C-alpha cells in the first residue's frame, strides 16, 4: 500500500513540475524555467545538452521570440514580455522504479500562439523525461523534446527546431 501512495504523491509532484514548466514559458519567466533544471538537463537534438539553471534560462531567452502588450517583438524582460503562447501538456504516462525514486515520463504537448487576434496552433510534440526524487523532492533529471507536428513556429522561435 505504501508504494501505491508514494506513486500517487510522486505523480502529483511530477505533474506540478510539468505544468509549472509550461506556465513559466507562457508567462515569459525563463528564470523559473531554468530553475526547474537546476539539477537536470535538456538533451538537445544535436547530441549536446543544456545543463542547469543558467544554461537553460539563457538558451530559452535567446531562442524564443518575446512580445510586449502591444504585440511588438522585443527583447526578453522577465515579467514584461511573453511569447504569447499556451503550452498544453496531455497524455502523461509515468513509469516508476521499484524504490519510487525515479520515473520515466512521457507526455504530449500542443502549443498555441495568439497574435493579431488569431489563436493559432503552432506545434505539437512530446516530452520524454526522467524525474528523480532526492531529499528536496522530485526534479527533472533529463528532458528530450520531440517536435512531431511542426506548424509555423517562425513567430515563436528565432531558429528552426530540429527534433
The reply to whether 87 falls in a domain is: yes
Backbone angles phi, psi at 29, to 5 degrees: -125, 75
Degrees to nearest 5, angle at CA 130 with 129 and 134: 140
**Average pLDDT over every residue of 50-68:** 97
The reply to whether 162 falls in a domain is: no
**Average pLDDT over every residue of 51-60:** 97
Helix (H) or strand (E) holding 11: helix 2-26
pLDDT digits (tens, 9 = 90+) for 75-123: 999 999 999 999 999 999 999 999 999 999 999 999 999 999 999 999 9
CB 87 within 8 A of CB 37: no
Q: Does residue 131 register a pLDDT over 60?
A: yes
Q: What is the CATH number of the domain that holds 18?
A: 3.10.450.50
Confidence of residue 46 (pLDDT cuts 50, 70, 90): confident
The reply to whether 36 falls in a domain is: yes
User: What does the chain come to in residues?
Assistant: 163
Nearest to 18 by CA among 113, 152, 157, 145: 145
3-state secondary structure of 37: coil
pTM for the predicted model, two decimal places: 0.94
The reply to whether 61 falls in a domain is: yes
9-27 core/surface letters (b: 16 or more CB in 10 A; e: else): ebbebbbebbeebbebbbb
The reply to whether 102 falls in a domain is: yes
The reply to whether 90 falls in a domain is: yes
Residue 42's domain spans which residues? 2-150
Q: Does residue 28 register a pLDDT over 70?
A: yes
The reply to whether 95 falls in a domain is: yes
The reply to whether 155 falls in a domain is: no
CB 30 within 8 A of CB 60: yes
Structural domain total, the chain: 1
3 state SS for 17-34: HHHHHHHHHHCCCHHHHH
**Average pLDDT over every residue of 36-58:** 94
Sole residue written with cell 514559458: 25
Parallel, antiparallel, or unpaired: how do β-strands 66-67 and 41-43 relate? unpaired
Amino acid at each position: 500500500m505504501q508504494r501505491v501512495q508514494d506513486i500517487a504523491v510522486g505523480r502529483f509532484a511530477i505533474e506540478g513540475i510539468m505544468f509549472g514548466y509550461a506556465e513559466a514559458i507562457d508567462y515569459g519567466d525563463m528564470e523559473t524555467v531554468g530553475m526547474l533544471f537546476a539539477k537536470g538537463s535538456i538533451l538537445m537534438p544535436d547530441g549536446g545538452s543544456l545543463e542547469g539553471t543558467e544554461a537553460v534560462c539563457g538558451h530559452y531567452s535567446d531562442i524564443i521570440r518575446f512580445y510586449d502588450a502591444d504585440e511588438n517583438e522585443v527583447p526578453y524582460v522577465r515579467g514584461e514580455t511573453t511569447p504569447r503562447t499556451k503550452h498544453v501538456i496531455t497524455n502523461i504516462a509515468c513509469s516508476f522504479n521499484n524504490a519510487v525514486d525515479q520515473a520515466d515520463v512521457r507526455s504530449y504537448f500542443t502549443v498555441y500562439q495568439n497574435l493579431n487576434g488569431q489563436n493559432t496552433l503552432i506545434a505539437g510534440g512530446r516530452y520524454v523525461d526522467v524525474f528523480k526524487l532526492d531529499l528536496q523532492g522530485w526534479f527533472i533529471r533529463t528532458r528530450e523534446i520531440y517536435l512531431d507536428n511542426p506548424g509555423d513556429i517562425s513567430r515563436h522561435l528565432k531558429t528552426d527546431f530540429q527534433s
